[in-house]
Amino acid sequence: MRLLVLGGTHFVGRAVVETALARGAEVTTLNRGVSRPAEAAVTSIIADRTDPEALRRAVDGREWDAVIDTWSGAPRVLRDSCGLLADRAGHYGYVSSRSVYRWPMPLGGDEQAPLVDGDPDADDSDDYAVTKRGGELAVLREFGDRALLARAGLVLGPYENVGRLPWWLRRIERGGRVLAPGDPGRPLQYIDARDLAGWMLTAAERGVGGAFNAVSHSGHTTMGELLEAAVKVTGSEAELVWVAPEVLDEAGISPWTELPIWLPDDAEYGGMHDSDVSAAHNTGLSCRPIQETVSDTWAWLQAEGDPLLRPDRPRPGLDPAKERQVLDGLA
- Domain 161-188+219-273+289-326, CATH class in plain words: alpha beta
Q: Which of 23-32, 38-47, 161-170 has the lowest mean pLDDT?
A: 38-47
Assigned superfamily of 2-155+191-214:
NAD(P)-binding Rossmann-like Domain (3.40.50.720)
Mean pLDDT of 127-139: 97
CA atoms of 213 and 211, how far apart (whole Å): 7
Burial 265-280 (b: 16+ CB within 10 A, else e): beeebbbbbbbbbeeb
- Say what the pLDDT of residue 155 is: 98
Q: Quick one: which of 271, 327, 306 has its CA closest to 109? A: 271
Position 212 scores a pLDDT of 98
Helices 11-22/193-206 angle, 10° precision = 60
Is 36 a residue whose pLDDT tops 90? no
Q: What is the pLDDT of residues 263-318, one digit of tens each?
A: 999 989 999 999 999 999 999 999 999 999 999 999 999 999 999 898 888 899 99
- Within the chain, which residue ranges are assigned CATH 3.40.50.720? 2-155+191-214
DSSP per position, 102-162: PSSPPTTB-TTS-B----TT----SSHHHHHHHHHHHHHHHHGGGEEEEEE-EEESTT-SS
pLDDT score for 236: 97
**Residues near 55 by Cβ (< 8 Å), separated by ≥ 6?**
30, 47, 48, 49, 80, 81, 84
* Percentage with pLDDT > 90 across the chain: 93
Per-residue model confidence as pLDDT tens digits over 37-71: 677 799 999 999 999 999 999 999 999 999 999 99
> Where exactly does CATH 3.90.25 map onto the chain?
161-188+219-273+289-326
Query: Residue 18: which pLDDT band, with cuts at 50, 70 and 90?
Result: very high
The 10s digit of each residue's pLDDT in 187-241 is: 999 999 999 999 999 999 999 999 999 999 999 999 999 999 999 999 999 999 9
Residue 128 pLDDT more than 80? yes
Q: What is the pLDDT of residue 33?
A: 85
Q: Nearest 5°: phi and psi at 249?
A: -65, -45
Q: Check: CB of residue 163 under 8 Å from CB of residue 317.
A: yes
- 92-118 residue pLDDT tens: 999 999 999 999 999 999 999 999 999
| pLDDT value, residue 207 | 97
Predicted local distance difference test score (pLDDT) of residue 331: 75
